[in-house]
Amino acid sequence: MNLGIVPPFLLDRVAATDKPHLAHAAQAAHRTLLAPRTYRPQRVRLQLSVEGDALVAETSPSPDRTIADTHNTETLPGDIVRTEEQPPVDDATVNQAFDGLGVTFDFYWDAYHRDSIDGHGLPLDATVHYGQDYDNAFWNGERMVFGDGDGDVFTGFTGSITVIAHELTHGVTEASGGLDYQGQSGALNESISDVFGVLTEQYHLGQTADEASWLVGEGIFSDQVQGTALRSLKAPGTAYDDDVLGKDPQPATMAGYVQTSEDNGGVHINSGIPNHAFYLAATAIGGKAWEGAGLVWYKTVTAGTLPTSADFATFAKATLATAEAEYGEDAKEVAAIRAAWTQVGVLSDGAD
Please name the residues in contact with 21: beta carbons below 8 A apart, sequence gap of 6 or more. Answer: 152
How many Cα atoms are found within 13 Å in the side-chain-facing hemisphere of 104?
38
Distance CA 37, CA 290 (A): 31
Q: What residues have CB less than 8 Å from 193, skipping those under 6 apart?
A: 165, 166, 167, 169, 170, 173
Question: Do residues 12 and 33 touch, judged by C-beta distance below 8 A?
Answer: yes
d(CA 319, CA 191): 14
Phi and psi at residue 127, to the nearest 5°: -125, 135
Which residues share a beta bridge with 139? 144
Instruction: Please tell me the total number of residues recorded for the chain in this structure.
Output: 352
Candidates 268, 276, 324, 333; catalytic one: 268
Q: Among this protein's residues, is 58 annotated catalytic?
A: no
Beta strands in the chain (DSSP E): 47-51, 54-58, 65-69, 79-83, 124-128, 137-139, 144-146, 215-216, 231-232, 241-242, 246-247
Residue 213 near residue 202 (C-beta atoms within 8 A):
no
Query: In the annotation, is 268 catalytic?
Result: yes
Pick the catalytic residue: 129, 142, 166, 167? 167
φ, ψ for residue 234, nearest 5 deg: -70, -40
* Distance in angstroms (rounded) separating the CA atoms of residues 241 and 311: 29
3-state helix, strand, coil in the chain (%, to 5): 40, 10, 45
Beta bridge partners of 167: none
User: What residues contact residue 96 under an 8 Å CB cut-off, 6+ apart?
Assistant: 158, 159
Catalytic residues: 167, 268
